[in-house]
A and B are shown apart, each in its own frame.
Chain A
Amino acid sequence: MTAAPLHFRDERLMLDPAGAAFWPAKRVLIVADLHFEKSTSLAARGVLLPPYDTRATLERLNRLVRLYRPKKVIALGDSFHDRSAAGRLSQDDRARIEAMAREAQFIWIAGNHDAGPTGMPGLSVAQYREGPFTFRHQALPALGPREIEISGHFHPKASIEARAKRVSRPCFVTDATRLMLPAFGAYTGGLDVHDPAISRLFPRGLRVFLLGQDQLFSFALEQLGRMAEVA
């Protein structure tokens, strides 16, 4: 796994191909849209997906915690798929979270799926600031002066026309003032970055980092603004 450095003013973030960001200076690990218990949430609507999604997500998160040894883990909202999801965690999964929370402070940012406090160890907040960064669930259309925003919510993915084939992957999206993280949860689909909901946040073009098996692939996508105008 090779992480890619990304610079905002004097701060450096490392983008991990697993779909998380790490801020080495403060030892902060950032993940978005974990969507715990999505399977049991869908089951109530008659869709019985394999009930291993929370376990799979936690195993991946635990791998990153062991790798980076963060002091803080910031979950950028929609950590739980619905408001009662925390109550449906299996004992094992709850124990996995508690074990990680003993090693790092968890900051649970509220999302649209999990607006209330989750009852999990750590801090539950609407948004969080540290250094030049504002961490929130959904990107705001307009940012404050000198504000740099780190958000989730949209589950961005991008398609690249490679030779002989179009390749579509979840991705980080960024410009000089924003970083949008891909969803980290096991069953989270994606929204193409061409969709106006995402592209209008990046009127001067954007750069995407597609997730690969052990590296990121970086592309600048310039003309996205055009789409927003016409749509």
Chain B
Amino acid sequence: MAALPAHFAAWFAKKGWVLRSHQHEMLEAAADGVDALLIAPTGAGKTLAGFLPSLVDLSARPGPGLHTLYVSPLKALGTDIARNLQAPVDDLALPVTIETRSGDTPANRRARQREMPPNILLTTPESLHLLLTDENSAVFFRTLACVVVDEVHALAGTKRGDQLALCLSRIRTLSPARVVGLSATVAHRQAMLDYIGSAARLVEAAPGAAPEVRLLPPPGTIPWSGHMGLQAAGAVLACIRQAGMTIVFVNTRAQAELLFQEIWKHNEENLPIALHHGSLDVAQRRKVEAAMEAGRLRAVIATSSLDLGIDWGGVDQVVQVGAPKGVSRLLQRLGRANHRLDEPSRAVLVPANRFEVLECEAAMAGVAAQALDGDPPGPGGLDVLAQHILGMACAGKFLPDDLFAEIITAAPYAQLSRSDFDDVLRFVENGGYALAAYERYRKLFRDAEGYVYVATERVVRQHRMNIGTIVEAPMLKIRLVGKKRGFGVPLGEVEEYFVNLLTPGDSFMFAGRLLIFLRLRDTVIEVAEGRGKEPKVPAYEGARMPLTTNLAARVRAMLHNAGAWGGFPPDVQEWLMLQRRRSRLPGPDGLLVESFPRGRRWYMVVYAFEGRNAHQTLGMLLTRRMERFGLHPLGFVATDYVLATWSLERPYDIDRLLEEDLLGDDLEAWLETSSMLRRSFRQVAVIAGLIPRHQPGADKNRRQVTVNSDLIYDVLRKHQPDHILLRATRSDAARGLIDLGRIAALLRRARGRITHMVLSRVSPLAVPVLLEIGREQVQHSAAEEFLLAETEALVAEATLESPTERKFIRSPRVRNMLVDPP
């Protein structure tokens, strides 16, 4: 029985705290020497529960050397927790040293930490990987007793989580450390437990007070489409006015910029309202966070950049503008308000359109039922494995058998086959190509006894510069230089492509300001403040999260059950009743498909509710099949809720169109040209180390000359289609961007239960998706060809074709300057 030592008990008493039962259970788990996963709501004293056993142990057996390692997805969390831990350490006069380590830690301190590690070190998965690649890692980690992994739910199932799991497998070889996970409430408990350790003990805290969530429809008629929610800016401002401090969450960085501008247009009292998203300069973000902490702000407009993070006690309201996408995600956001366990957090949902009203209603019901969602973590990425193997070779020689045995102790790699491991190892060694071109350039050597060594010091240096599993599009920094030239103020960064859309003098919105583009200098976009007509808003590649399966099922069930509509805004009730009269409502089972003529085309709307990614893929496959059926499809558009296609001919035999074999040959043929796979390949190639992000000796301030991953993809696919990285790309894409699992589930659900409504005109429920046509991105390369041709024709139509002009352009001098039809 683990009791709290007297001086700790006295400290608790002095603070007016009582030891909570989950904190006690964590002490017991430590006494029993078992791994543990603590699931607790925010405000339950989770962090203290995680560290208490270490503090108690260090107090009883002080000594030099690393005792506890804390890993979290955010650098800022480590810093904040270091500060919070210092309080009990000071109050109790414990002989404990605490330090943080991240990419920002100065080199001299990092060197000193390697020589003289603190008792408690707070770090990130990437910095931990780096520590483990050090040749002295065996000595460094020898004394380690405990690893605390914070926000496990945000790591498990991601590539960063895969990397951390591999690091933990090595730590278990180097030390007898226990692993302790801290997590918010999760849908897949067993998976989280497995992630922490094969025999980890589950410790659960009592749930906090249920959140109070209300719906705030936008004023006026509820929009049919659009996702920005700008119409609600005034109403959101009114919410802000009524609370102490509010976080206004949105779904994209572009939406954050636009909503911020719109709210300030209404903000006549000049309430202090700030902006926070992942592309803003770090210093600017820290400034906003500090102002929140000091209570100097009334509101922050934020993206997922504030989903996780340190505890700002002062936030007492959360507003979500736009679709919540999933119950777990919404709960995570709601948890940002009010960190006192016994009081409910207050939240307001502001849908941007009619479907989002339904989604918000479903999410509120899901929150009330605590019906958490999200995909269970899948198998670990082979690209991450490649990075890990090279890292372990940097640490010292190894036998492949030993490393394989170690790796399969990590939950994401428990099912890894030996042949995949060997293929990844061969890739790391010499590229793993069928053509033996790189014998001279091998990264790893094997000796007669079978030990694997890293070939040169340069390989180690290059690896250290390229670790990490977060791959972003190439970015350019933005600097505000004003009228005078000079160094200027860093504002943040945008994706490289954006600058190609700008001409000097163009204006755009960024960091909550209206900016004028002056010039591009190396990797810096120089701007001044100023207003131009029609400012652009930079968009970012970042994966848009699709609607979760759970939430979609709730929306379908609600649509079907008219009894549940009573609380909906009148516009939405009318809309649904009209749909019921004119067509059908999609139900919990089966699949509703509508077709109707419009203009000189036939539209077909599939009410699949499987999320945007799955619908995109389904659209590609379905239009291919329609082509074969002779329907002459012309295009399609996908939203989170439905897929709409349009064709010259009237769709028939819908059951055949949507048969399960859709995922057979059509899928293979489409994958050949899919740009989704190119995007996935880029990530895989960078993480696996095929395309380095940084080269030793390269100038950081110049644009890196990198090889275009699309070109490599094309060549590799043609000449070695079974290469391990192509296999890794396929499995990544199948889970993420092309979302095959959900399509398969849909086709199964629909089999024999498709309701096809042939209508004379567009149905009320189909209006939103038709309004999306033209706004949506078109994803595959054949569509690109189509768009180019269309644009070319438009330009030609607008600029040419009067007889005098034709005469003029016959003169050879200008001929080349004008359109010359191929």
Complex-state Cα separation, A4 to B790, whole angstroms: 17
Q: In the complex the two chains form, is A165's CB within 8 Å of B497's CB?
A: no
CB of B615 to closest CB in A, whole Å: 16
Residue interface bits B779-792, CB-to-A below 8 A is 1, else 0? 00110110111111
Q: In the complex the two chains form, is A217's CB within 8 Å of B788's CB?
A: yes
Q: Check A175/B816 contact, CB under 8 A, given A46-B443, A50-B719, A160-B788.
A: yes
Binds B, one of A18-26, A36-44, A103-111, A123-131: A36-44
Residue interface bits A123-161, CB-to-B below 8 A is 1, else 0? 000000000000000000000000000000000000111
Asked whether any CB of chain B lies closer than 8 Å to the CB of A212, the reply is: yes
Among B433-468, those with CB < 8 Å from A are 433, 435, 437-438, 440-441, 443, 458-459, 462
Asked whether any CB of chain A lies closer than 8 Å to the CB of B518, the reply is: yes
Q: In the complex the two chains form, is A51's CB within 8 Å of B813's CB?
A: no
Complex-state Cα separation, A45 to B500, whole angstroms: 30
> What B residues does A188 contact at CB under 8 A?
711
> What B residues does A160 contact at CB under 8 A?
788, 791
> What B residues does A216 contact at CB under 8 A?
822
> What A residues does B706 contact at CB under 8 A?
189
Q: Check A52/B716 contact, CB under 8 A, given A162-B787, A165-B777, A231-B520.
A: yes
Complex-state Cα separation, A39 to B706, whole angstroms: 12
> What A residues does B790 contact at CB under 8 A?
162-163
Residue interface bits A164-176, CB-to-B below 8 A is 1, else 0? 1111110000111
Q: In the complex the two chains form, is B501's CB within 8 Å of A159's CB?
A: yes
Q: Check A50/B462 contact, CB under 8 A, given A213-B781, A217-B789.
A: no
Residue interface bits A207-231, CB-to-B below 8 A is 1, else 0? 1001011011111100100110011
Q: In the complex the two chains form, is A226's CB within 8 Å of B820's CB?
A: no
CB of A140 to closest CB in B, whole Å: 19
Asked whether any CB of chain B lies closer than 8 Å to the CB of A99, the reply is: no
Asked whether any CB of chain B lies closer than 8 Å to the CB of A101, the reply is: no
> What A residues does B812 contact at CB under 8 A?
7-10
Q: How many residues of A contact B (CB 8 A)?
A: 64
> What A residues does B815 contact at CB under 8 A?
7
Residue interface bits A42-73, CB-to-B below 8 A is 1, else 0? 11111111111101100000000000000000
> What B residues does A217 contact at CB under 8 A?
788-789, 791-792
Q: In the complex the two chains form, is B817's CB within 8 Å of A6's CB?
A: no
Q: In the complex the two chains form, is B692's CB within 8 Å of A47's CB?
A: yes
CB of A175 to closest CB in B, whole Å: 7
> What A residues does B816 contact at CB under 8 A?
6-8, 174-176, 207
Among B664-706, those with CB < 8 Å from A are 690-692, 695, 705-706
Complex-state Cα separation, A175 to B503, whole angstroms: 21
Residue interface bits B510-528, CB-to-A below 8 A is 1, else 0? 0000000011110000000
Q: In the complex the two chains form, is B817's CB within 8 Å of A220's CB?
A: yes
Asked whether any CB of chain A lies closer than 8 Å to the CB of B485, the reply is: no
Asked whether any CB of chain A lies closer than 8 Å to the CB of B139, the reply is: no
CB of B467 to closest CB in A, whole Å: 15
Complex-state Cα separation, A230 to B503, whole angstroms: 10
Complex-state Cα separation, A2 to B812, whole angstroms: 22
Q: In the complex the two chains form, is A230's CB within 8 Å of B441's CB?
A: no
Residue interface bits B740-779, CB-to-A below 8 A is 1, else 0? 0000000000000000000000000000000000111110
Q: Check A50/B788 contact, CB under 8 A, given A176-B813, A187-B708, A218-B819.
A: no
Asked whether any CB of chain A lies closer than 8 Å to the CB of B238, the reply is: no
Asked whether any CB of chain B lies closer than 8 Å to the CB of A186, the reply is: yes
Asked whether any CB of chain B lies closer than 8 Å to the CB of A97, the reply is: no
Asked whether any CB of chain A lies closer than 8 Å to the CB of B715, the reply is: yes
Interface centre among A43, A162, A174 (most CB of B within 10 A): A162
> What A residues does B718 contact at CB under 8 A?
52, 56
Residue interface bits B398-439, CB-to-A below 8 A is 1, else 0? 000000000000000000000000000000001101010110
Complex-state Cα separation, A42 to B712, whole angstroms: 13
> What A residues does B782 contact at CB under 8 A?
213
Q: In the complex the two chains form, is B775's CB within 8 Å of A164's CB?
A: yes
Q: Check A176/B720 contact, CB under 8 A, given A46-B443, A212-B785.
A: no
> Which residue of chain B is the closest to A213 with respect to CB atoms?
B785
Q: In the complex the two chains form, is B497's CB within 8 Å of A189's CB?
A: no
Q: In the complex the two chains form, is A165's CB within 8 Å of B778's CB?
A: yes
Complex-state Cα separation, A114 to B777, whole angstroms: 42
Complex-state Cα separation, A116 to B815, whole angstroms: 38
Complex-state Cα separation, A80 to B50, whole angstroms: 59
Q: How many residues of B contact A (CB 8 A)?
A: 66
CB of B635 to closest CB in A, whole Å: 10
CB of A177 to closest CB in B, whole Å: 9
CB of A5 to closest CB in B, whole Å: 6
Q: In the complex the two chains form, is A231's CB within 8 Å of B707's CB?
A: no
Asked whether any CB of chain B lies closer than 8 Å to the CB of A3, the reply is: yes
Q: In the complex the two chains form, is B707's CB within 8 Å of A189's CB?
A: yes
Partner of A227, one of B504, B714, B777, B817: B504
CB of A127 to closest CB in B, whole Å: 22
> What B residues does A50 contact at CB under 8 A?
431, 433, 712, 715-716, 719-720, 723
> What B residues does A6 contact at CB under 8 A?
816, 820
Q: Check A51/B784 contact, CB under 8 A, given A8-B816, A187-B711.
A: no
Interface centre among B437, B705, B714, B814 (most CB of A within 10 A): B437
Q: In the complex the two chains form, is A46's CB within 8 Å of B462's CB?
A: yes
CB of B48 to closest CB in A, whole Å: 46
> What B residues does A5 contact at CB under 8 A?
820, 822
Asked whether any CB of chain A lies closer than 8 Å to the CB of B209, the reply is: no
Among B504-560, those with CB < 8 Å from A are 504-505, 518-521
Complex-state Cα separation, A4 to B714, whole angstroms: 25
Q: In the complex the two chains form, is A51's CB within 8 Å of B431's CB?
A: yes
Asked whether any CB of chain A lies closer than 8 Å to the CB of B795, the reply is: yes
CB of A36 to closest CB in B, whole Å: 13
CB of B674 to closest CB in A, whole Å: 15
CB of B531 to closest CB in A, whole Å: 19
> Which residue of chain B is the closest to A194 with respect to CB atoms?
B500
CB of A158 to closest CB in B, whole Å: 9
Asked whether any CB of chain A lies closer than 8 Å to the CB of B818, the reply is: yes
Asked whether any CB of chain B lies closer than 8 Å to the CB of A192, the reply is: yes
Complex-state Cα separation, A42 to B437, whole angstroms: 12
Q: In the complex the two chains form, is A230's CB within 8 Å of B519's CB?
A: yes
Partner of B504, one of A51, A210, A226: A226
Complex-state Cα separation, A188 to B710, whole angstroms: 11
Complex-state Cα separation, A163 to B819, whole angstroms: 20
Asked whether any CB of chain B lies closer than 8 Å to the CB of A205, the reply is: yes
> What B residues does A53 contact at CB under 8 A?
715
Q: In the complex the two chains form, is B707's CB within 8 Å of A187's CB?
A: yes
Partner of B503, one of A4, A10, A176, A227: A227
Q: In the complex the two chains form, is A46's CB within 8 Å of B458's CB?
A: yes
Q: In the complex the two chains form, is A51's CB within 8 Å of B437's CB?
A: yes
CB of A137 to closest CB in B, whole Å: 18
> What B residues does A39 contact at CB under 8 A?
437
Q: In the complex the two chains form, is A52's CB within 8 Å of B788's CB?
A: no
Q: In the complex the two chains form, is A47's CB within 8 Å of B715's CB?
A: no
Q: Check A42/B707 contact, CB under 8 A, given A176-B813, A223-B503.
A: yes
Complex-state Cα separation, A53 to B777, whole angstroms: 31
Interface centre among B711, B790, B816 (most CB of A within 10 A): B816
CB of B712 to closest CB in A, whole Å: 6
> What B residues does A212 contact at CB under 8 A?
785, 788-789
Q: In the complex the two chains form, is A218's CB within 8 Å of B792's CB?
A: yes
> What A residues does B443 contact at CB under 8 A?
46, 48
A-B residue pairs, 5 tightest by C-beta: A48-B431, A51-B437, A162-B787, A4-B822, A52-B719
Given contacts A176-B814, A218-B820, 9 further A-B contacts (CB under 8 A): A4-B822, A8-B812, A44-B441, A48-B438, A48-B443, A49-B690, A52-B719, A55-B719, A175-B817
The residues of B with any CB-CB pair to A shorter than 8 Å are 430-431, 433, 435, 437-438, 440-441, 443, 458-459, 462, 497, 500-501, 503-505, 518-521, 690-692, 695, 705-708, 711-712, 714-716, 718-720, 723, 774-778, 781-782, 784-785, 787-792, 795, 799, 812-820, 822
Between-chain CB contacts (< 8 Å), 8 pairs: A8-B812, A48-B430, A50-B716, A162-B787, A163-B787, A213-B785, A226-B505, A231-B504
